[in-house]
Chains A and B, each alone.
Chain A
Amino acid sequence: MAIDGSHLRSSDRLVVRLFRSLEGGLVWVGVVLMAAAPALMWFSHDDRPWLPWVAGGLLLVGISLNGVVGWKHKRLVDREAEAKGRAARRSNAMQTIMVAALHTLMHELDHVDFTRARISVYRHKDGHFIRLCRESKDLELARPGRNRYPVDEGLIGRAWRSGTAYVRDLPEDRSEWESTCHEDWNINDQTVGGIQMQSRSLAGIRLEVTGTNPRMIGLLVVESLDPRGVKGEVMDVLRTSTATHLVNHVLVVAVTCLDEEDVDGFRQSTEL
């Protein structure tokens, strides 16, 4: 079984790297020694009475080396499986808290009809946004959508730059809506055509790490199919709700404390 090593501690990763470089060699040394033992026995004579002992010694060393390699390999495989399990549990725990916080926000935004609206959390990574979590009472609206979102397009781009952004009364006509998205909101022409949800009112707020090393890490966005489904007061709730702070906090922990693989697992688990 191959060892990935990405879920292990850094000290274990070093062992894995050493193990990978030595593994083949040690196994072959063991095999050669075990093969050499009978050959040495064959050539043993009275004038070389120590040869059987050497042969026996080589056989023992060969068997031991293969045994050690096999044992070490199994131990690392087990340890990695445990680490992956821990990462999955951490991701699931984070996801559970995030989803609970989003449901609390949906409850607080009781004037928003979430059968026609959705709420999403995006993480900023490598110059793009990646959706981490999305909730709606309509399963179709809760579907994942695009893999990556450019930082300079649409309401998310504007909220990212200014901290908050809100728009309502976007056009009902699909072609008018597409040209508005393209011309006023800088969304790539080809991308606009592929957007499934024709959101006509949206509110977004930036999520940030505060303290000594402040930085922007993501966005929280509410969007509705209705022109006034998301009203201005949604912004007030998003800015002041403890549920928003919880979402922000979970994202901070996910981004700053978890390994990349854990955060990726977090995202994947929300797509189940």
Chain B
Amino acid sequence: MKVRATTSFSVESSTDPITYDYLRAVVTEALSRLASEHDLVDETSITPGGDGGRADLLVVELDIVFRSDSYGAVDDAMLKLAQHIASVLETEPTSPRIASRETQLVPA
């Protein structure tokens, strides 16, 4: 069974905002860790989300397809992914605010 997980993260920093390229690099690294622990279908996409024109707010949207028989396992994996991304970004000197937005799981 394939499960499609979609989620997004927003990163808000008032001074010296981080760049989208940097955010993408952090997410890509987190995804490679995820891929080493789970059977992912090669359909993962990382796209910039709408930020309403705000320079201090970055949004990244993720679309990941798992091969898994368990929604619980996929949900746990997505929670760990979010925690990992947050833990990396929180080490930034500007201490950006990271928010994990809604996560959806549907059959792929």
Contacts and interface: CB of A to CB of B under 8 A. Distances in A.
Interface of A: 158, 162-171, 180, 184, 231-236, 239
Given A234-B71, A235-B71, 17 more contacts: A162-B107, A163-B107, A164-B106, A165-B106, A166-B105, A167-B105, A168-B75, A168-B102, A169-B100, A169-B101, A169-B102, A169-B103, A184-B102, A233-B70, A233-B72, A235-B105, A236-B71
A164 B103 contact: no
A233 B106 contact: no
B75 A231 contact: yes
A184 B103 CA distance: 12
Interface residues of B, number: 16
A94 to B, nearest CB: 29
Contacts of A163: 107
Q: Is the interface of A mostly helix, strand, loop or mixed?
A: mixed
Interface of B: 70-76, 78, 100-107
B71 A162 contact: no
B106 A168 contact: no
Nearest to A170: B102
Nearest to A168: B103
Contact of A233 (B71, B78, B104): B71
Contacts of A235: 71-72, 105
B38 to A, nearest CB: 13
A233 B72 CA distance: 4
A233 B101 contact: no
A233 B79 CA distance: 13
B106 A166 contact: yes
A162 B106 CA distance: 7
Contacts of B76: 232
A22 to B, nearest CB: 59
8 contacts: A163-B107, A164-B106, A164-B107, A165-B105, A167-B103, A232-B74, A235-B72, A235-B105
